Structures are given as structure tokens and as C-alpha cells.
């Protein structure tokens, strides 16, 4: 088949296509155009992204409950040092949160570590369940009981405990004088450790609650 014959066939197909499209009529064409533009606007506005629910917002003294633990922030302050416990480095400030925690699971958990093959990851983890919002701590948090006792804090099931958590953060992190503490729902996973198939880990799930607390200064 010659190049001339190919060109002739292409032109014929183009004319047939134009006649077929013209036969649809302008009303149908207008509907198609509107539908296409609507689809483009839907995708452009994020219509294909998964919906994300906003977290519940609470204030000091209000309890945030997840499926496995509950937390109530009582007060928060910024300081350069907590006597005999923690001191901020140059360019840092400590944000110290006093809170009531309750373990709603059926096994003991450690606020800042693991106990009895349960790693709760409330703090001091790559993705902790409790974290200041919009602020990146410069180092690990410190945790202690408000009664002055030493050692880690193990939360027994259904026993509320008063504790303090201190995060070192860059100076000027709270320009509006408000601490916002993010509380995440835990995703419970098991069998993640080779030597212990019944090891339980609380992984960070959805952001459940954001607690806003005015910061006090010493």
C-alpha cells in the first residue's frame, strides 16, 4: 500500500469521525464537557485523597480516652531546669507536663519503656503516642512520679497515676503560650520480636485527641 493510499484512508476516517461526533448534537457535547471539568476540579481539590477526621480538641482537666489508655493534662509549664532531674541545654527550654494516666489494657505498661513483654511507646519512641504538636523535641523525654519517687513508672491496669513528662524543645517553640499535646490511638501488634512471639507493641495509630493547655512560666 502506497503512502498516498494511507493518507487517503486517514482522511476518510477523519471525516467519518467528524460526522459521527456531529451526530451526537451540542447538548450531549455540553454534558460531556461539564462532566470532564467537574472531574478535573474534584481531583484537583483532593477528592481522591482518603478522608481524615479532625482530632477531638480538649482543654486542661478534660480526659482523653483511647482504646488502651487515658490521659488528663492537669497543667504545663516551661522552665530551664527541673531540680535534681533535668536541665535544658543552651538554646533549649523544657516543657513540663503534669498529667494523670490510666492504663485501660489488661497488662502492665511502662510509660517510657517496656515491661512484661509489652512495649507501650507512650514516649521515647520513633513515633510516640504522646507528643507535643508542631514541635520537634531535641532529645528524649524524662518521666517521673509527682510524689518524688525514683525509677520508671509502670502503670497497672485501671490504676490512675500522676506523673510528669518533660521534653526539651528549641527556645521560642510556643510563641502563643499554648502547649498542644497530641494523643494517638494505639495499634496493638504482636509477635514482632524473634525471641518472643507473644511480645506486644503499641504502634502509633490515628491522631485521636489534641489537648490545648496554657503554659506557665516559673
- What are the pLDDT tens digits along the chain (218 aa)? 555 565 566 566 656 656 655 665 555 545 554 455 555 454 444 444 444 468 899 999 999 999 999 999 999 999 999 988 899 999 999 999 999 999 999 999 999 888 988 999 999 999 999 999 999 999 999 999 998 777 789 999 999 999 999 999 999 999 999 999 999 999 999 875 544 567 899 999 999 999 999 998 76
Under CATH, what is the fold of the domain 56-216?
Immunoglobulin-like (2.60.40)
pLDDT of 198 reads: 74
pLDDT of 138 reads: 96
Give 176's strand partners: none
* Residue 186 CB coordination number (10 Å): 22
Going through the chain in order, the beta strands assigned E by DSSP cover 56-59, 63-65, 69-79, 81-82, 86-87, 92-103, 109-110, 114-115, 118-119, 130-132, 142-145, 154-155, 161-170, 178-190, 200-216
pLDDT of 151 reads: 74
Indicate the domain borders of the chain.
3-44, 56-216
pLDDT of 15 reads: 65
Q: What is the pTM of this model?
A: 0.73
pLDDT of 17 reads: 58
Do residues 210 and 180 lie in contact, with contact meaning Cβ atoms separated by under 8 Å?
yes
d(CA 97, CA 164): 5
pLDDT digits (tens, 9 = 90+) for 9-19: 656 665 665 66
pLDDT of 52 reads: 46
User: Torsions phi, psi of 190, nearest 5?
Assistant: -135, 160
pLDDT of 47 reads: 46
- 170's CB contacts (< 8 A; 6+ apart) are 91, 92, 93, 135, 136, 138
H/E stretch holding 30? helix 26-44
pLDDT of 22 reads: 60
Amino acid at each position: 500500500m502506497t503512502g498516498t493510499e494511507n493518507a487517503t484512508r486517514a482522511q476518510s476516517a477523519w471525516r467519518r469521525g467528524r460526522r459521527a461526533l456531529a451526530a451526537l448534537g451540542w447538548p450531549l457535547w455540553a454534558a460531556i464537557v461539564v462532566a470532564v471539568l467537574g472531574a478535573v476540579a474534584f481531583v484537583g481539590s483532593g477528592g481522591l485523597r482518603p478522608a481524615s477526621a479532625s482530632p477531638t480538641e480538649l482543654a486542661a482537666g478534660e480526659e482523653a480516652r483511647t482504646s488502651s489508655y487515658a490521659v488528663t493534662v492537669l497543667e504545663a509549664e516551661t522552665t530551664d531546669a527541673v531540680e535534681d532531674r533535668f536541665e535544658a541545654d543552651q538554646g533549649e527550654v523544657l516543657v513540663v507536663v503534669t498529667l494523670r494516666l490510666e492504663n485501660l489494657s489488661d497488662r502492665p505498661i511502662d510509660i517510657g519503656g517496656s515491661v512484661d513483654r509489652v512495649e507501650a511507646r507512650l514516649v521515647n519512641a520513633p513515633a510516640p503516642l504522646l507528643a507535643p504538636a508542631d514541635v520537634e523535641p531535641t532529645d528524649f523525654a524524662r518521666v517521673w512520679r509527682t510524689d518524688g519517687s525514683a525509677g520508671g513508672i509502670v502503670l497497672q491496669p485501671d490504676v490512675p497515676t500522676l506523673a510528669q513528662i518533660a521534653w526539651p524543645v528549641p527556645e521560642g517553640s510556643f510563641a502563643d503560650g499554648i502547649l498542644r499535646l497530641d494523643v494517638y490511638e494505639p495499634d496493638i501488634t504482636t509477635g514482632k520480636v524473634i525471641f518472643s512471639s507473644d511480645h506486644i507493641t503499641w504502634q502509633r495509630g490515628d491522631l485521636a485527641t489534641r489537648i490545648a493547655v496554657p503554659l506557665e512560666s516559673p
